[in-house]
Amino acid sequence: MSTQIKMIIPLLDPDITKDDISEEAGFVDGYLYDINRPSLTDNVFLMYKAYTHDIKAVRREEKFNDSPYIRSKRYIRVNGELYIVYTFVITEKDIRSLKKGLSLSTVNNTFRILSFWHGNDSTVNRAIVWPNESYTVQLEGVPEEDYIPNEIDDYELTHSV
């Protein structure tokens, strides 16, 4: 996970915890854009393995189902594996700044990020303590989902001239 995403996640939803972004919860990564839905520009995407049966995954699912900060939940298949992509609406000015590679503008959000990571993430600490040393802006988006032909595609393939 990039430093940029590590700084954004604590600002997405006040109820999100480190357990929600753990391997046990099925967390894969966070992204700033979705190649499958390019029209969604003012969002952040968190991707999870769909078939994770740990109690942390169950708790994350319950919490996210009730979150007012989630715009949508979508299942996608990538390389044959099923994933869940949660689309979070950007509600904080600082998230927009972080998406652009800029520094935080409020002390409260700085404290939210540091307390989320308990001061134990050296890359986050460095980005906050030395904001003029910019971190790398993430370029990867949600992976492209597998093409799965539907009934119309099958019909066109079998009836093409």
Q: What does each of the 161 residues of the chain score in pLDDT, given as a tens digit?
A: 899 999 999 999 999 999 999 999 999 999 999 999 999 989 999 999 999 989 999 999 999 999 999 999 999 999 989 999 999 999 889 999 998 888 888 889 999 999 999 988 888 888 888 766 667 777 789 999 888 776 665 555 555 55
pTM, two decimals, is 0.88
DSSP 34: B
Burial of 54 (0-12, 13-18, 19+ CB in 10 A): middle
Count CB atoms within 10 A of the CB of residue 39: 5
Q: Name residues whose C-beta falls within 8 Å of residue 29's C-beta, 6 or more positions apart in sequence.
A: 1, 5, 46, 47, 140
Burial of 123 (0-12, 13-18, 19+ CB in 10 A): middle
pLDDT at 136: 73
Q: Which of 151, 152, 121 is nearest to 2 (CA)?
A: 121
pLDDT at 154: 55
Q: Name residues whose C-beta falls within 8 Å of residue 110's C-beta, 6 or more positions apart in sequence.
A: 104, 128
- What domain range is 32 assigned to? 3-158
Give the total number of structural domains in the chain: 1
| Spatial distance between the Cα atoms of 36 and 146, rounded to a whole number of angstroms | 10
Token code pair at residue 40? 């969604």
Count CB atoms within 10 A of the CB of residue 113: 23
First to last CA, the chain: 48
pLDDT at 106: 85
pLDDT at 10: 96
Amino acid in the structure at residue 135: Y
CA 154 to the chain's CA centroid: 34
